Amino acid sequence: MAETGDFNRRDRKSHPPAFTPGYKTSVLRAPRCALVSVEQGVGEKAGPIFVPRGGLDPLDNDLIRNFSQGGEAIGERIVVHGRVLDEYARPVPNTLIEVWQANAGGRYRHKNDSYLAPLDPNFGGTGRCLTNAEGRYFFRTIRPGPYPWRNDGSDWRPAHIHFSIFGEAFVQRLISQLYFEGDPLIPLCPIVNTIPDPAAVDRLVARLDMGQQMPFDALAYRFDIVLRGRRQTFFENKREGN
């Protein structure tokens, strides 16, 4: 295994803290002790190449069709695309992105979701794709609806798509949520508001991208993702550079 540089420290001011009482479930699920800062070992600086056994299915990144029972999903047809970069703006190629979301009415296809809005028989709500050599990815889906949840009375989540990214190392692992430009529910949401920095919230908002629409088919949203950057190893035998 090639000797490689450490990854930048995670800037925890960009991330939500663990204890955010406005989001009630965090109250009993937040550690009270401080995190213990440690150096990165060879294991943490490596990471799984998690290409699912048997590889990806051609429809894995097409949520409009990958749960088809004979028809297509109902809702606002969109393409979500972007690049995965590290903090030094280097592309992260060949990394797995997984997404999941509710349907156009805000209903999840999950055994624990009992929201009264109906399931869409042609919509499953799960997809995945790999970034290409330039770090680019895209998937096709329908825009998810908002949905109510039990927090402070009936709060409503903004339309959102959950996403999960592996990167090249276990320390780059990230799960987050994509929101949509202009959604007035964004500033009201206790989960969005776990992030203290408004500029950081803004980085979770996908932008309408008319230039990448599919004419007479689907609108497009652009969403770039930034993972922790890997530094050079100064003063050691350098086997890679930037």
Partner 1 sequence: MPVAYLKETPSQTAGPYVHIGTLPAVAGLPVRSQENLSVLASGSVPGERIRITGVVWDGAGHPVKDALLELWQADAAGRHDNPDFPGFGRAAADFATGAFSFETVKPGALPWRDGRTQAPHVCLLIFARGINIHLHTRMYFSDEAEANAADPMLKSIEHAGRRTTLVGERGTEDGVVTYRFDIHLQGENETVFFDV
- Largest Cα–Cα separation, the chain: 61
Q: Is the CB of 77 or the CB of 109 nearer to partner 1?
A: 109
Q: Is the CB of 72 or the CB of 87 nearer to partner 1?
A: 87
d(CA 8, CA 34) in angstroms, rounded, equals: 19
Mark whether 81 is an active-site residue: no
**Least distance to partner 1, CB of residue 3, Å:** 9
Mark whether 88 is an active-site residue: no
**Least distance to partner 1, CB of residue 90, Å:** 10
**Least distance to partner 1, CB of residue 36, Å:** 5
Pairing between strand 77-86 and 225-227?
parallel
CA 171 to chain CA centroid, nearest Å:
16
Q: Is the CB of 91 or the CB of 213 nearer to partner 1?
A: 91
C-beta neighbour count of 12 within 10 angstroms: 10
Query: Contact, 78 vs 219, CB < 8 A?
Result: yes
Q: Is the CB of 115 or the CB of 213 nearer to partner 1?
A: 115
Q: Is the CB of 53 or the CB of 153 nearer to partner 1?
A: 53
Mark whether 157 is an active-site residue: yes
Q: Dihedral sign for Cα 138, 144, 146, 150, please.
A: negative
Structure tokens at 221: 């949203």
Structure tokens at 63: 């949520």
Please name every residue paired with 176 in a beta bridge, in sequence order, or none if there are none. Answer: 163
How many residues does the structure list for the chain? 242
Q: Which of 136, 162, 203, 231 is catalytic?
A: 162
Q: 46 in the Ramachandran plot: left (φ > 0), alpha (ψ -120 to 50) or beta?
A: beta
Mark whether 160 is an active-site residue: yes
**Least distance to partner 1, CB of residue 216, Å:** 28
Q: Which of 81, 137, 140, 147 is catalytic?
A: 147
**Least distance to partner 1, CB of residue 234, Å:** 14
Q: Which of 23, 81, 83, 108 is catalytic?
A: 108
d(CA 73, CA 197) in angstroms, rounded, equals: 36
Mark whether 77 is an active-site residue: no
DSSP letters of 4-35?
A: -PPBPPP-TTSS--S--TTSGGGTTTS-SSPP
Question: Which residues are known catalytic residues?
Answer: 108, 147, 157, 160, 162
